[in-house]
Chains A and B, each alone.
Chain A
Amino acid sequence: MYEELADEGFTVITVGIERSPEDARPWIEKASPQHPSLIDIEHLVPDLYGMINVPTVVWIDEEGRIARPNDASFASNRFKLLTGLDSKRHLRRLRAWVRGDAPALTPSEVRKHQELPTAVEQEARAEFTLAWWLSREGHDEDAERHYERAGELAPHDITIRRGSMRTRGLNPMGFAFLKIAIKSALTRTPLYRRIEDSPA
């Protein structure tokens, strides 16, 4: 995708929301991308953009303006059944926008679709920052209380809840995450932010 559109004034920036650069290394080395592939161990980008889960994408235009806000998207349809997200449709739209064949969203549409962070979500992020510092200092038991508190404040924030599992000795692919997914389904609380718009 990047190679196809790189000559058209387009780039990709990937940001790995990881606990250490080593977690992202195998992924990045396998893809050996030509575009910036960054590591965000402090969750700065989720904080700045109000992201609650990954993978998610933002379209940013030549002037540095948000053309399409934070929207869950996968590079393939591997998880389509689970998430209901169609990656092909997103790629079709993206290609049309990059080539100038179709506009992204209007500013008022961007504002309408953009979910702005709440005070409680920001408190959860502050708890997470504290917990993560305590983990790195070796105070696992005290860190755990703050991870728990962050999860209570923002139960829908998967960057916090699933993103901290490995540090806490939990398996992000295992029962701990399954529990979150089941609860989300039962309470109809989406774990992904997605923009419902007309088929491209």
Chain B
Amino acid sequence: MPTLTLLHDGRVDEISVADLARPTISPEQVESLLGWELKPEGLCKGYMCIPVDQDDLVREDGLDLRVLADALQRPLVTEEKHAVASLGASHHDRAEALDSLDAPDFTLPDLAGNLHSLSDERGKKVLLVAYASW
């Protein structure tokens, strides 16, 4: 079975797909990679469930990745020639997080490769500066 490289949440994962033109993902990988579990009531994460049309979503070889992305309101863009797909973040999730006013946490490396998180600085006022050399 061909392999699809799935770019999501800042990660790179590989999933086996029967058809690159219409990729599917196993329910197990939906749970382990994306954190959603398929139940009779829909796609669930904790106590929250999103109703989905399971006739569209569930196919012989797994869950239809495009239907899944639509249900989660996440953009999915693909380059079939190189067997790669990019699953972006939902604007609802991003907007909800910002609207809560809790500063989204992140972990990034410095030049030496040491990782730092915003949450390491809890207890201090922080000026977060994004800049670039370009």
Contacts and interface: CB of A to CB of B under 8 A. Distances in A.
Tell me whether A and B are bound partners: yes
A44 interface: yes
B48 interface: no
Nearest to B108: A38
Contact of B127 (A13, A21, A24): A13
Contacts of A45: 106, 108, 128, 130
A118 B73 CA distance: 11
Interface string B5-32: 1010010100000000000000000000
Interface string B59-99: 00000000000000111111101101111111100110111
Given A11-B126, A42-B10, A54 B95 contact: no
B111 A64 contact: no
Interface size class of A (residues with CB under 8 A): 35 or more
B10 A122 contact: no
A38 B106 CA distance: 11
A11 B103 CA distance: 15
> At the interface, is chain A mostly helix, strand, loop or mixed?
mixed
Interface in A109-164: 110-111, 114, 116-119, 121-123, 125-127, 129-130, 133-134, 137, 139, 142, 146, 149, 159, 162-163
A98 B78 CA distance: 46
Given A46-B130, A116-B99, A62 B124 contact: yes
B111 A39 contact: yes
A63 to B, nearest CB: 7
B52 to A, nearest CB: 18
Interface in A39-81: 39-40, 42, 44-51, 54-67, 69, 73
A51 B85 CA distance: 23
Nearest to A36: B116
B103 A123 contact: no
A62 B94 contact: no
B91 A118 contact: yes
Contacts of B82: 134, 137, 139, 142
Given A38-B110, A122-B94, 13 more contacts: A11-B125, A16-B131, A21-B111, A27-B131, A44-B10, A55-B132, A60-B125, A61-B125, A98-B125, A111-B101, A123-B88, A129-B7, A133-B12
Interface of A: 9-18, 21, 23-29, 36-40, 42, 44-51, 54-67, 69, 73, 94, 97-98, 107, 110-111, 114, 116-119, 121-123, 125-127, 129-130, 133-134, 137, 139, 142, 146, 149, 159, 162-163, 165-166, 172-173
